[in-house]
Amino acid sequence: MREGYPSISDEIVDPIERDEDGFIANTCARWAGRERSIAALVKALGGSRDDGPAMYAHGPPVSGKTSIVREVMLRSERPHAFVSCATEHSARLLYEAIAEELTPYLMECSEFLREASAEQVKKAMKCDRYSDLVEILRTHLPASPSARACYVVVDEAQRMLQWRGEPVVSALLRLGELSCRKVIVIFIGEQGWDTFCSVAGTTPYEGVYFPAYSKDELRFILLRERPMDADEMMYNGFLGNMLGTFAATCRNLRELRATLTPLWMQYIKPYDAAIARGETPPEPRQLYAALNAKRAPAKVQDRANEREREGTTSRRDKPNVHTGLTVPLSAAALALGRGEWPVAQDVAGSGAGGRLDFEIPRLTKFLLLAAFLCSHNNDDVDKRLFGGQIEGHVARTSRTDRNAGERERAAAAEAAVDTRRVFKLERLIAWFHFITRSTCDEHGAEVADLEEELLSADVFMQISSMTQLGLLSINRGSAMEGGLYQCNVSRDLAEKLAQNLGVNLPTYLRYV
């Protein structure tokens, strides 16, 4: 239970109303690169007694939107409930959490709740349905036109679109209207406002966009978060080299932090060793070269012998610092986290029998493979592969095409370059069922067991979890098409998943 809110008397001076520019400046000082988003959010909130429309803070993962909205609400001292659909994964749990979060403020507003016993308060705040929440707000929130507005902040709002049953988004948007009180809902999600509203069947309201961090913003933030014993100039040079490799494919602060921490320890080892021996420390370019060296620094003669033995092949060796280190749950990232160095780019393909370095549910592995196939196969392939499984569809046999092989190779080369082709949710589900059933038939498994497993699995919840882990990402899409997904699974990880499941991956990779 949170601490009680300030008194609800009219003498309260809202921090935003007292000094809006100062409030924005203080918040921006804590959140670098978010100045425009913070200013838009604070101005959209308006006065503490204004009754405004719903708001939607949206942007890619790890862009600071959740933490900033939460801090603004706490520092403004405005009454609010903060709930997350990641933990409240059903409508009932969501309504219960909203009522529980608002209980301290409602007890200050309602004379009945202040004088009631604990048992009476528990009974009065029981909230199993949407109608219960509306009645609680109508009964215990002040009805005066000069009363302060009450806010309901819902994080991970895109998960509500996958819930079955009542339209929760539309219901929450009408919370103030049905309760006849000043209740403002703030959604936080990853999808664009138009896509979110088109899927939910609602009208767009106020939107606040939190863009992905730029390379300069990432460098500034990571430099400010450097280790306490790290020299600022040296760490700045380290970030310049690392972001030059990672920033093109990864702007996720959480993943960059996890990758850079062990890399810095490896980067600084030759420097610390030279200082301990009383020698002249190496320059930054030498430190980066040592980090990319295939082996730890050896004697000059050993290096000469190795160069003579390997010839010119060492010039074609891939560097140790590569983009695969930032791929979530990849074998390279996990090996780096364990302190192993160097980590080869093809480490994900090693191992016998497709053994994974992490454990995830079996159907989640099929979902990841389905997403990988959606991102590599053309849409035209679906009819050819799924046609025989569609009732009433007769697969046509096309004539032999002399140029089919050339087109296949050209499309395969194009797919190898463009690995982030977007796809719809329906296509992902179709591929998931197709490869799951095909694998079941190949291995002679019981169809009844598969059906039971599919029914017991919450596929949409697993897709949401994969999105949170960064294995999938949601694009803005369009109002007509809804959200479009991108697959962030590498080819090495997909091959290892296929080996683990006994799936012949090349069988399903048909580009044209």
Tens-place pLDDT, residues 338-354: 777 777 665 444 333 44
Q: What is the pLDDT of residue 40?
A: 93
Helix, coil or strand: residue 404:
helix
The most confident of the ranges 265-274, 442-451, 494-503 is 265-274
Q: What is the pLDDT of residue 99?
A: 92
pLDDT, tens digit, for every residue of 33-72? Answer: 899 999 999 999 988 888 888 899 988 888 889 999 999 9
Query: With pLDDT > 70 as the criterion, what percentage of the chain qualifies?
Result: 73
pLDDT, tens digit, for every residue of 477-502? Answer: 554 555 688 888 888 888 888 887 77
Structural domains present in the chain: 15-209 (3.40.50.300), 215-349 (no CATH), 362-508 (no CATH)
The DSSP code for 423 is B
Q: What is the pLDDT of residue 402?
A: 54
Stretch 87-113: mean pLDDT: 89
pTM for the whole structure: 0.63
Q: What is the pLDDT of residue 320?
A: 73
The H-assigned helical ranges of 347-424 are 362-376, 380-386, 404-417
* Position with higher pLDDT, 394 vs 507: 507
Residue 391: other Cβ atoms inside 10 A: 4
Q: What is the pLDDT of residue 352?
A: 37
What are the DSSP calls for 272-326, one per residue? HHHHHHTPPPPPHHHHHHHHHSSS----HHHHHHHHHHHGGGGGGPPPSS-GGGG
Q: What is the pLDDT of residue 395?
A: 43
Helix, coil or strand: residue 116:
coil
- Between CA 121 and CA 10 the distance in angstroms is 26
Mean pLDDT score across all residues of the chain: 77
Q: What is the pLDDT of residue 90?
A: 86
Residue 486: other Cβ atoms inside 10 A: 16
pLDDT, tens digit, for every residue of 185-239? Answer: 999 988 777 777 776 667 667 789 898 888 899 999 999 989 888 888 999 989 9
Strand partners, 185: 152
Measuring CA to CA, how many Å separate 421 from each of 18, 196, 417, 510?
49, 21, 10, 15
pLDDT, tens digit, for every residue of 20-34? Answer: 999 999 999 999 889
pLDDT, tens digit, for every residue of 269-295? Answer: 888 888 888 888 888 888 888 887 755
pLDDT above 90: residue 250: no
Sign of the Cα pseudo-torsion (262, 263, 266, 269, in order):
negative
* Position with higher pLDDT, 28 vs 321: 28
pLDDT above 60: residue 512: no
| Contacts of residue 248, Cβ cutoff 8 Å, sequence gap at least 6 | 323
- Between CA 239 and CA 374 the distance in angstroms is 35
Q: What are phi and psi of 147, to 5 degrees?
A: -70, 155
